[in-house]
Structure 1
Amino acid sequence: MKRVHFLATFVFLAFAASFAFAFDPSPLQDFCVAINDTKDGVFVNGKFCKDPKLATANDFFFSGLNIARDTSNPVGSVVTQANVAQIPGLNTLGISVVRIDYAPYGGLNPPHTHPRATEVITVLEGTLYVGFVTSNPDNRLITKVLKPGDVFVFPFGLIHFQFNVGKTKASAISALSSQNPGVITIANAVFGSTPPIRSDVLAKAFQVDKKIVDYLQKQFWYDNN
């Protein structure tokens, strides 16, 4: 009987541990300002921490998300990031924010995923057609047209996109549940990897002629981040 209780406890702890390591860790102190200098730092979650007594307001500050950026690029959008790389004080806090600007009709934040975060987007101006695709086997597309003030959630790790369907420029602010959510743009990763994925592999995966894959792999895949 004791052995059964032990095994049950072990399984529970294993599940708990796997859940705990699936997200950014909870902080064990007020803050842990990230620094690159390892001389006097303490290593936490991929970053070294500054002595809390030396922290300043600038460690928790970022300016510029009110500024629209140039969207004259192949995808017609640009992402301004404010994560732990720009705000050291975000280290261990499990949150970050981005601004996305979209060119008039056709500005696209291409299908992508955030491997470490859920995203909540709020439209500031313009009209966006947004959506995400559920996981296998359903692969169900869930979409919505958003206007200023509207909020939409892209669940953890799922492929999602935003497309400007309005005649004017658009912009949005997104909060993400990680200090460093990461981004995998699907087309860039599949057809623009270094070195490239073998074209016969992709031809079979997409069930198309190899020449189509060869063509796609020769394209320039723009990164809007």
Structure 2
Amino acid sequence: MIKMSFHFLLATTILAFALSLVYASDPSPLQDFCVALDDPKSAGLNIPRNTSNLVGSTVTPVNVVQIPGLNTLGISLVRIDYAPKGLNPPHTHPRATEILVVLEGTLYVGFVTSNPDNRLFTKTLYPGDVFVFPEGLIHFQFNVGKTKAVAFAGLSSQNPGVITIANAVFGSNPKISADVLTKAFQVDKKVVDYLQAQFWWDNN
């Protein structure tokens, strides 16, 4: 009787573990696809964007906002134009991994791993090179060339989101308390006041 109870308990435990593995994946889409007919918005990525801004880059997104037909498909795309020495500032996508391919120019790119290591991985990319930024990690791209640069990136979400670190920390509305930021960054309050007084450009 004890032996049979042990086998029953073991079988139940294995079954529960197997079911937990099944439910660990993403749920299936709620629908097969969503066709957006007569959508007046243009989502073309063939036109270079103006990069004469404070950071020297402009991101053109193609996600579910621009193309409702991406609803439930779990993908989106961006075009990034960079002026010489243009920067796509450190940012993160909370809901997507990003794969970037360089079309023109030379980009220095990188991402930082999470705590406790905060390890920086970087690479200089040339036309045709590809780099992956894991979901949720802070990453950047910097045009180290003397000419413009262009890159395309695919993201594993229909709505990946973007949080530009400096904008969020020093340009929040309302402002984060200077007491919090002076302690977090271990700097004088004048430094925090200076950074909070800047205009933080949104290149998205």
TM-score range relative to shorter protein: 0.7 to 0.9
Question: Is 1:85 the equivalent of 2:65?
Answer: yes
1:49-88 mapped onto 2 (5 Å cutoff)? 56=37, 63-88=43-68
For the structure 1 residues 175 and 167, does the alpha-carbon distance in structure 2 shift closer, same or farther, using more than 3 Å as the test? same
Q: CA deviation at 1:64?
A: 2.2
Q: CA deviation at 1:14?
A: 5.9
In structure 2, C-alpha distance between the alignment counterparts of 1:132 and 1:79, rounded to whole Å: 18
For the structure 1 residues 7 and 200, does the alpha-carbon distance in structure 2 shift closer, same or farther, using more than 3 Å as the test? farther
Amino acid at match of 2:65: A
In structure 1, C-alpha distance between the alignment counterparts of 2:19 and 2:123, rounded to whole Å: 39
Deviations for 1:170-197, whole angstroms, at most 9, x for unmatched residues? 0100000000000000000000111111
Question: Is 1:222 the equivalent of 2:193?
Answer: no
Q: Look up the match of 1:127.
A: 106
For the structure 1 residues 12 and 148, does the alpha-carbon distance in structure 2 shift closer, same or farther, using more than 3 Å as the test? same
Q: TM-score, normalised by structure 2?
A: 0.88
2:176 is aligned, of 184, 192, 197, to: 197
Q: CA deviation at 1:210?
A: 1.1
Q: CA deviation at 1:27?
A: 2.0
Structure 2 unpaired stretches of 5+: 1-5
For the structure 1 residues 6 and 220, does the alpha-carbon distance in structure 2 shift closer, same or farther, using more than 3 Å as the test? farther
Deviations for 1:18-44, whole angstroms, at most 9, x for unmatched residues? 653xxxx432542034xxxxxxxxxxx
Q: Contact 1:114/1:183 (CA < 8 Å) preserved in 2?
A: yes
The DSSP-based 3-state class of the residue aligned with 2:157 is coil
For the structure 1 residues 143 and 6, does the alpha-carbon distance in structure 2 shift closer, same or farther, using more than 3 Å as the test? same
Percent identity of equivalent pairs: 74
In structure 2, C-alpha distance between the alignment counterparts of 1:13 and 1:221, rounded to whole Å: 48
Largest Rg, 1 or 2: 2
Deviations for 1:189-210, whole angstroms, at most 9, x for unmatched residues? 0001111110111100111111
Q: CA deviation at 1:169?
A: 0.2
Question: Is 1:117 the equivalent of 2:96?
Answer: yes
Q: Look up the match of 1:46.
A: none
Q: CA deviation at 1:10?
A: 5.8
Q: Look up the match of 2:79.
A: 99
Q: TM-score, normalised by structure 1?
A: 0.80
- Aligned residue pairs: how many? 197
